[in-house]
Structure 1
Amino acid sequence: MLLLGSGSFWGCGYIRYLIPLNPTAATATTPPTHAGWNTIVKQYVNQQGLVNYRGLRTDSLALNAYIQDLGSHMPSKSWTDNDRLAYWINAYNAYTVQLIVRNYPVKSIKDLGGDKIFVNTPWDKHFIHLGGQAYSLNDIEHRIIRKQFKDNRIHLALVCAAMSCPRLRNEAYTGPSLTAQLDDQGRDFLNNPAKNKLTPIDKPQVSAIFSFYPKDFTKNGSKSVQEFVNRYATTKINPSATLRYLTYNWALNEQ
């Protein structure tokens, strides 16, 4: 999770995240069913999106098998945009969970650090192997998903293993269901008082995610953060409300 809204993160080590990536299979493939991930999250993720990492650690072979399946079904140009986006969201979340499982017990993903001298975060670890190349979580989020799809709802679907993240959905994303799933994530996230406090409506306290990526929320059907919030919130805030941002809780999203 590269905090692009902060100027302090624009060092030479992050210039690479401006360069798009579009890894695809050498030959046409069909989208995976994501059945493996679906089984995992139904068993180890509850309705609040909290993960039973201790239990999953004893069943890591299932997680590894799903990740191998991702490598065998790289996106093809013949896929729909929704199939490709569902693939990359599931991949990001599965690899994040794998990173935690490999290092469990851990109090926060931020405790894991990185593998570089100047770019030292867990999101910069090149531990993701797909199509013979190594990628980081930041590669998937910023060089693939944000560059290719321009859909601000992805920020409510990508889960960084922290309590302030959106809930980890306990079903896999799939191309045919993706639009409904992302809209459901929006309603769940915006109406959760632990993530967003929308009253008073002229000075709401919203998730720091909206400060991490402010420009993203002025695209894709909304002209402002306030307008995006009101797309999904039951309690509507003032269109010109002064936004305050909740402190991000990086504690592990653990049951």
Structure 2
Amino acid sequence: MKKIAYLIAVLLIAASCVSSGGLHYDSLQNGEQMETSRAKLDHSNYDELLKKYVNEAGFVDYQGLATEQAKLKSYLTYLSVNPPKSDWETGEQFAYYINLYNASTLDLIIDNDMPGSIKDIDGPLGQVWLKDFITVNGKQYALADIEKSVLQKMGDPRIHFAINCASYSCPKLLRTAYTGKNVDELMDRAATEFVNSDKNDLSDPNNPKLSSIFKFYTSDFTSNGMTLVEYVNQFASNRLNAGAKVTYKDYDWSLNKQS
């Protein structure tokens, strides 16, 4: 029943721009606005797996990772029983949910025998994004819950470069786990690397071809009053002209596996 409210959106949007509800950042207080405490979570086991099975291009050795899936599942269990608290610093909350999303996606791919695309995995209404398989504090959530109901509500569009949906056109999966200390630096790095990668074509400053991510989430990138071009120019090596006519590249949903 909880997904009924999102039926229309799901039918209209075939990408990850959906939400299944249930988990809401609104219930957490922004850590920067109150006396805060730093979480003591240890992301080192996940960091070791990333460094071992993800290459510099962000592609994953899923066959190798599958041999240590128990370690990945142990990390996810660790996150599930240590949910964010309202007095955590904002950076700690970002790190928790980014890691939760990315690690859960890796686990999902392995559990489903490494399909050609994450979209080949079934879910409610045919949407894998609405599949409840992520446990937080004893309750089940979907990838859409983490992305739409938490990370997007935290108000930093850079999260779209930090989370990885196991697809070729996604921003690459970094080989480093996010932490409260490095999350701002890593989100900046992820944004810069993605904007200047071949996922976008900025060679013509008047007619750039951007990743469809900028189409999926235009309202996030322009929510602070910037135009989409102005947002991209914050990270672009080749700056776009103010009146640039933006078009979008097709999105490749094939699995981000190492060849």
Distance (Å, rounded) in 2 between the aligned partners of 1:9 and 1:153: 21
Q: Does 1:133 find its partner at 2:139?
A: yes
Give the drift of 1:77. Answer: 1.4
Equivalent residues of 1:6, 1:212 under 8 A apart: no
State the Cα deviation string for residues 58-92 of structure 1 (Å, max 9, x = none). Answer: 11111011101101221111210010011000000
Give the aligned residue type for 1:87: Y
Give the drift of 1:105. Answer: 3.0
What is the SS of the residue equivalent to 2:126? coil
Structure 2 stretches of 5 or more lacking a match? 1-5, 29-36
Distance (Å, rounded) in 1 between the aligned partners of 2:160 and 2:40: 23
Equivalent residues of 2:19, 2:149 under 8 A apart: no
Give the drift of 1:248. Answer: 0.3
Equivalent residues of 1:29, 1:76 under 8 A apart: no
Give the drift of 1:120. Answer: 2.0
Equivalent residues of 1:5, 1:213 under 8 A apart: no
Q: Choose from 189, 206, 225 the match for 2:194.
A: 189
Q: Choose from 237, 242, 247 the match for 1:239.
A: 242
Aligned position for 1:171: 176
What is the SS of the residue equivalent to 2:158? helix
| TM-score normalised according to structure 2 size | 0.86
What is the root-mean-square deviation in Å for CA atoms of aligned residues?
2.4
1:101-180 aligned within 5 A: 101-114=110-123, 116=124, 119-147=125-153, 149-180=154-185
State the Cα deviation string for residues 132-180 of structure 1 (Å, max 9, x = none). Answer: 1110000000011112x10000000110000000000100011111111
State the number of aligned residues: 241
Distance (Å, rounded) in 2 between the aligned partners of 1:172 and 1:135: 21
Give the aligned residue type for 2:93: R
Give the drift of 1:16. Answer: 5.0
Give the aligned residue type for 2:183: L
Give the aligned residue type for 1:227: E
Equivalent residues of 2:82, 2:137 under 8 A apart: no
Q: Does 1:72 find its partner at 2:78?
A: no
Give the drift of 1:5. Answer: 9.5
Distance (Å, rounded) in 2 between the aligned partners of 1:67 and 1:173: 14
State the Cα deviation string for residues 187-231 of structure 1 (Å, max 9, x = none). Answer: 1001112x00002110000100000011101135x6121111110
Distance (Å, rounded) in 2 between the aligned partners of 1:47 and 1:218: 30
